[in-house]
Structure 1
Amino acid sequence: MATTRISYTLPPNIDATKAPLAFGSRALPKLNRELNDDTLITRQRALMTLCDLVHDPEKVYESIGVGQLCVLKKLLSDADSTVRHKSTEVLYIMATHNVGRNAFLDYKVILPVAKLFDDNVDIVRKNAHQALKMLSEIPAGAAGIVSANLIPKLVNKLKIEIDEIKELILDTLHFCMRVDAENALKSGVMPVLTELLDHSDPSVRGAAARDMMDVSVTLAGKEAACEDASIVPLLVRLLTDVDASVKSSAAGALMTIAITTKGKYAAIRAGAIPSLLKLVNASSSETRLYGIKALTMLSEAPEGRKTLLEFVDEIKDREDDPESAAVARAAQTALKVITWKP
């Protein structure tokens, strides 16, 4: 029988860990006030609610309009680890939207986020790196990270971070080195990447090989790769890796390094040709492309051309690659170089 007793149990659709959301246009301004509240639990609950809202790009736009980005910057230095955790999570989700990435640059959020690279809580550091990794995916974002002089710090963190975060740093460096590879080279990225080429995690190995290709785009990077006698043999070994993406990135790195004469002979001495020939018929079009282009570089050396003349038919099969026009063009170029006669 129904009674007039009032229940203290919350309705089933109420989450006690989240701040109640006001109706319509009042929702985000109310959350903004709660984010500024002196009471810790109020800030935490507001952040929990905001994490759900910013998955919608329209809400990201609205939250920027009411000044929440400025409040989040302040919360990044909060004494409470949960507040820092959820603040970085909100910023990371915002950075998945273009409007959020542009706001990062407009409101100068890069350096406040980067300060959390030194946080003692793993999830806070991970969210901070995820946010900047997403930002680096647009050219202006990568340029902003480079301008903030964060490449040396990213390289140093690459030496000591946990594997999960190392992969994020490698991704961020990948985009930043397209803007300024020489900065990374001067910051000592080459020895760090060399060590990671031998990592047990295939994702880290592949990302390190890809970054090795990025840093070797410059002449200084190619020379540095040849000066260290261990780099080219390590990349050649990765051509037979069990992971397809690792093989592709290793072939790309060798292709870039072998543009110079030193790089060609270093790869030939390390026995790259037999392994690269196996990639000509790889299932991935990217792997085939890098493999054929690397063979083209090696065939420019007389020793490489002499060896590859015996395998012309294998490359000729790729002249009409049904999946990739780029692979077909690369095969045609390779055949011209291999069969060239003075």
Structure 2
Amino acid sequence: MHMIQHRTVDVNGIRMHIAEQGDGPLVVLLHGFPESWHSWRHQFAPLADAGFRVVAPDQRGYGLTDHPDDVDAYTILHLVGDVVGLIHALGEEKAFVVGHDWGAPVAWHTALLRPDIVRGVAGLSVPPPSRGAEPPLVTMDKKFGGRFYWNYFNRPGVADAEFAKDPRTALRKLFHSASGDAPGDTKQPLVDADEGWLAAMPYPEELPDWFTEEDLDALTESFSDGFTGALNWYRNLDRNWELTAPWDGAVVTPPALYIYGDRDPVPSFPGTPEFIESLPARMPNLHRRPIELAGCGHWTQQERPDEVNAALVDFLRACA
């Protein structure tokens, strides 16, 4: 079996770094925030061994991929365009698309906008899109008085500077606080804008087995150019709401799979638990009921690689 290979491809007007392994039907793995291709390290060999060609990019604004300066260059249409361009740049007409955290909305929207090229779609942590009555930043500002982390991230330069002061510590705290290993109940991620987000997060002296010091080193290195590109995704939330108006009420039609942890803050966002319950009725080709992983936090495929890999292989084989 070949090891993971790295190269750069020209995609949708940017240079994109990818990691790849295996041969067979293409599976594109899309990371979330604040991550990189490396967040899929536990998936490469199992999926390649199962007969698939596995490709994980650093997405736009991350790692070794280009970081456009313009905030407007990070809309959901740009991100879907990157995935479509990547599939074609790899010489394929169709692919499976799998996403975690922010990568999940990119995967879901790729399936929604271009079902002709998506063999199947899987989302981890973040469920399929559901367009609310008003822009998401407006909604969360009203619900939480401007303290929700999306609204904090939307302040130009603020979170960028907070995380860039000590990227390794910032990532260490963020990963621990949203994991299933963090003590206490799952909480809504609220931020005191004057103190910053990291101030209230405990510093974990020891990292869990699934996220080693070496993993943290690799992740920290991928943010050597800062966090602005990654944060620009959040700064387009309301713009994305406007841009996706033509698909209001549309459903994801390719075969679909959704996996989440019961200690992940994201599935407990306002209205989300009820939405997840309704998914089987909403999605005509949902592979099976949403898979809930007990004790799993936000970093789904890293915290529970064996269960996620088994579910993905089952899903991919059923659709291949």
The TM tier, using the shorter chain, reads under 0.3
What TM-score do you get using the length of structure 1 for normalisation? 0.23
Which protein shows a greater Rg? 1
What TM-score do you get using the length of structure 2 for normalisation? 0.24
Name the one with the larger helix percent.
1
Higher normalized contact order (CA 8 Å, seq sep 6+, divided by chain length): 2
